[in-house]
Amino acid sequence: MKRKRQRIFLAAGALLAAVALVVVWMNKNRSQMEKSEIIKIGVLIYKEDDTFVSGIVEEMKRQFKDYERENGSRIRLDFSYAEENQSIQNEQIDKYLSLDYDVLCVNLVDRTEAAIVIEKAKAADVPVVFFNREPVAEDLQQWDRLYYVGSDAKESGTLEGLLVADYYQKYPEQLDRNQDGVIQYVLLEGESRHQDSLIRTEYSIQTLVEEGFSLERLDGGIANWVRSQGEALTTQWLREYGSEIELIISNNDDMALGAIDAVENWHVKFSNIVGIDGTPEGLAAVEAGKMIGTIVAGQEEYARVILDLAERMARREALDGLAIREDKSIRVPMYSINSDGEIRRLEEEGNERN
C-alpha cells in the first residue's frame, strides 16, 4: 500500500515536471517567434533624383544589408518614389497599408499635407517616421506614434554663416575683394515650401550680421535645390553683377555646385561659395578649393536613426537612448568643414548659439 502511494506520487511529480518543461519550452519559442517575426518597412521618397535624399536612401540600403548579414531576414525594406506629387505619394501609402506594412518612413512631397498621411496611418495603427521634409508642429502632435528625423535648419544656417566669418578672419582680402568693408552677396535658395530654405537663409545672414559684418544683398533666387537651376541663376547674376559679387551663399551643396559650374563656364577665378549637406561631390569641391566649405549633415547617421526608430516602433519596443526632443523630433548632428580641412561643431561650443 505504502509502495503504491509512493509510485503515484512519483508519477504525479514526473507529470508536473513534464508539464513545466513544456510550458517553459512554449514560452521560449513564443518569445523567439516574436523576436524573429519579419517586419515590413515602407519608405516613401518625394522624388528619385534629389542628391541628398538619394544619399540617405543608399545608406539605408547599405545598412540594411549589413543588418541582414548579422541578423538574418528580420526586416523587409521597400522604397517608392512620388515624382514630386503628393497625390501619388498618398496612393503609395494606401498600397503599403493595404499590404499590412508595419511602419512607414515618409519623406513628404508637401510638408503641409502631412495630416492626410497621418489620418491614414492612424486608422491602420501603423506608426510613421517622417524625415527630411518636416511636418508642421501641430501635425506631429496628432498621434503618439509619429516622429520626425532631420537636421536642425537653424544650426546649419548658423554654421554656414560661421564658415564665412572664419574664412574672413584668415583671408580678409579674398572675401572683401573691393575692400569697401561690405560683403556683396547673392543667395541661392531651396524650394520655397521647404522648412530648410527659409531658416537656413535667415540664420546664415543673421550669424554674419552678429559676427559684425556689413552685408549687401545684390540678388537672390529660388533654385529648388537643383544644380542646373543654381547654375542658371548664377550665370544670370555673373552677367548682371560680374566681379561685384564677393560671396555666393547656397542653401545646399547641389545649387553651390551649380554656381561652381557657372563660374567655370564664365572663366573667372572665384571660390567664395558656401553650401550645406556634405554630399560626396560637395565635399570633393571643398577639398579641391572650389568652395569655402560646407556643412555636413551625416547621411549615414540620418539613415541609422530612421531605421532604428522605425524598427523599434514596428516591434513596439522602448525608444530609450534615442535623443527625442520635446517636439517629437530627432536632430541629426552636423558640423562644418572648410577647404583647409578644419571642422567646427556647435554643440562643442555649448550650443549657446542654438
189 binds ligand BGC (CB under 6 A): no
Q: How far is the CB of 51 from ligand BGC (least distance, A)?
A: 6
**Beta carbon nearer to ligand BGC, 102 or 139:** 139
Number of residues forming the site for ligand BGC (CB under 6 A): 12
331 binds ligand BGC (CB under 6 A): no
Report the site for ligand BGC in 100-139 (rule: CB under 6 A). 132-133
Q: Tell me the window of 33-41, 48-56, 87-95, 165-173 that interacts with ligand BGC (CB under 6 A).
A: 48-56
Contact residue for ligand BGC among 86, 204, 252, 272 (CB under 6 A): 252
Contact residue for ligand BGC among 44, 53, 159, 163 (CB under 6 A): 53
**Beta carbon nearer to ligand BGC, 263 or 276:** 276
276 binds ligand BGC (CB under 6 A): yes
Report the site for ligand BGC in 253-272 (rule: CB under 6 A). 254
Distance CA 209, CA 177 (A): 18
302 binds ligand BGC (CB under 6 A): no
| The three three-digit cell numbers of residue 120, written as one number | 491614414
Q: How far is the CB of 150 from ligand BGC (least distance, A)?
A: 7
**Beta carbon nearer to ligand BGC, 145 or 304:** 304
Q: How far is the CB of 206 from ligand BGC (least distance, A)?
A: 19
Distance CA 299, CA 56 (A): 5
Q: Which residues are bridge partners to 236 per DSSP?
A: none
Contact residue for ligand BGC among 43, 52, 114, 135 (CB under 6 A): 52
**Beta carbon nearer to ligand BGC, 52 or 270:** 52
CB 60 within 8 A of CB 311: no
166 binds ligand BGC (CB under 6 A): no
In terms of phi and psi (left: phi > 0; alpha: psi -120 to 50; beta: otherwise), the region of 115 is alpha
Q: How far is the CB of 62 from ligand BGC (least distance, A)?
A: 19
196 binds ligand BGC (CB under 6 A): yes
Q: How far is the CB of 158 from ligand BGC (least distance, A)?
A: 15
Q: How far is the CB of 260 from ligand BGC (least distance, A)?
A: 15
**Beta carbon nearer to ligand BGC, 52 or 203:** 52
148 binds ligand BGC (CB under 6 A): no
**Beta carbon nearer to ligand BGC, 45 or 307:** 45
Q: How far is the CB of 251 from ligand BGC (least distance, A)?
A: 7
The residue behind cell 572648410 is 338
Three-state SS string across the chain, please?
CHHHHHHHHHHHHHHHHHHHHHHHHHHHHHHHHHHHCCEEEEEEECCCCCHHHHHHHHHHHHHHHHHHHHHCCCEEEEEEECCCCHHHHHHHHHHHHHCCCCEEEECCCCHHHHHHHHHHHHHCCCCEEEECCCCCHHHHCCCCCEEEEECCHHHHHHHHHHHHHHHHHHCHHHHCCCCCCEEEEEEEECCCCCHHHHHHHHHHHHHHHHCCCEEEEEEEEECCCCHHHHHHHHHHHHHHHHHHCCEEEECCHHHHHHHHHHHHHCCCCCCCEECCECCHHHHHHHHCCCCCEEEEECHHHHHHHHHHHHHHHHCCCCCCCCCCCCCCEEECCEEEEECCCCEECCHHHCCCCC
Contact residues for ligand BGC (CB under 6 A)? 50, 52-53, 132-133, 194, 196, 225, 252, 254, 276-277
